[in-house]
Structure 1
């Protein structure tokens, strides 16, 4: 048991540091600008430098998703109003606002880095989670972006998910949004149904796959590929036009160095193969020790929160 727990502590600490470094790199404005340009219509005709200049400072893993926490500037009300019993703490990976068009219209953006889009691994359908995130981004605007019934000041929201488990020929970019349909009678103009959109970017899990035919996917796959920092910086600069500023270069260095630490300890290989075999035993040991939060167990074992909650219920029945 002690060996399992010590192993889980190492996995939690190093994997969490690596995952955080990935988010920090994805939150670089040069990366964000390219994601927006190649996934959202409102930015497709805008040059990268203009998009960068119109991005507010991103927040990385700092904003809670649950009701009562999403809106950090919200007028204070009774905390009981928004409490949701039994929900774990969930944070947006990256959240920021950006301005587009000649009128500089504000758009609220959320970007998530997701290892898998497979329902059998997640325990839920990813589109449902995206809809929930979009719903929180909409509802949290009350008393900040608009007050009372001034709904015309509602800002557009976009939730973009980068998933890393596509097959060799399955890389893709998928957009989901509201559509208008007349069921009976004459149609009417609904100009704001495009305010809610979700995007799924599917990257290939095989790092030996050839360069994607899509420029954004090719850049993101290069960004997340495990290779020496000097090579990665050279490729990002020469192939995809990223300027290696001091800040960007440092983020690349940190991520690559942490990636090497993870590989040297065999953590990633252990999660995917060795630990997977006895993962329920590891979860049970971590739960019964009382030394780990549910979130830490999720990170250490790769299981989602719903799985941990159901596992705890099963332990209680023994």
Structure 2
């Protein structure tokens, strides 16, 4: 099990006590990876809760269970979702009667989805929470260079740590490079498979032709004797018809 960024945080309360939460922050570059990130998030939340067993709570005191959060940041979401933020959590709904349970007894997990578009113009401020959305767009995409990122840090009140900003720039370049290399690798693999298919088809055509000539049999009989697959037969038949 690997989280992008996992920690627990002790939050000081107004009454002088501490409230601990468990937090996982996930950077999801692909908006639709073939499954719903929220479903994957439910798996993460479940693991974050059960990992507390024996530390924060046990079978004698389940009330020690701490609330868990998963924050999804999608820095390359569709433009129509740019700046959108959704929250998913458990709510109480009275089906019959008016019994109300303590919020702390069931409010143990929450997911937050932050949608950002990499082509967002930093001159256009987000309507709300711009103080966090614009820096996220800048830092999690490689659209802007180091100088602009440093200017954004200064504008939004971040301590300027050039080493960390350079690290983020390098991370963006690494992700871009990995994607290019992955695409190149997939292309080579697909080309190799296609080449193998063509080579096999060429060999089958040669065998079928020799068999038809030497035994004076039909095309269908030859492919039957050679046990050529139906899909391959359809492709090879085009050659003989031509």
- TM superposition score normalised by structure 2: 0.66
Hey, what's the Cα distance between the residues in 2 that align with 1:181 and 1:262? 44
Higher RCO (C-alpha 8 Å, min separation 6): 1
Residue ranges of structure 1 left out of the alignment (5+ in a row): 1-64, 66-90, 285-318
Hey, what's the Cα distance between the residues in 1 that align with 2:103 and 2:192? 49
Tell me by how many angstroms 1:251 deviates. Answer: 1.4
Deviations 1:174-222 (Å, cap 9, x if unpaired)?
1100010111223222322322111111111325574433312122112
Query: CA 1:278–1:208 in structure 2 vs 1: closer, same or farther (change >3 Å)?
Result: farther
Hey, what's the Cα distance between the residues in 1 that align with 2:175 and 2:49? 37
Deviations 1:130-181 (Å, cap 9, x if unpaired)?
1111111111110111233211111111111111232223121111000101
User: Rg larger in 1 or in 2?
Assistant: 2
Tell me by how many angstroms 1:258 deviates. Answer: 4.7
Query: CA 1:262–1:146 in structure 2 vs 1: closer, same or farther (change >3 Å)?
Result: closer
Contact 1:167 1:206 in 2 (8 A): no
Contact 1:178 1:197 in 2 (8 A): yes
Which residue of 1 is the match for residue 116 of structure 2? Answer: 203
Query: CA 1:282–1:139 in structure 2 vs 1: closer, same or farther (change >3 Å)?
Result: farther
Give the alignment's Cα RMSD to 1 decimal. Answer: 2.7
Aligned length: 184
Which residue of 2 is the match for residue 72 of structure 1? Answer: none
- SS at structure 2 position matched to 1:165: coil
Give the counterpart of 2:19 among 96, 99, 105: 105
Residue ranges of structure 2 left out of the alignment (5+ in a row): 194-242
Which residue of 1 is the match for residue 94 of structure 2? Answer: 182
Give the counterpart of 1:155 among 43, 49, 66: 66
Contact 1:107 1:155 in 2 (8 A): yes
Which residue of 1 is the match for residue 215 of structure 2? Answer: none
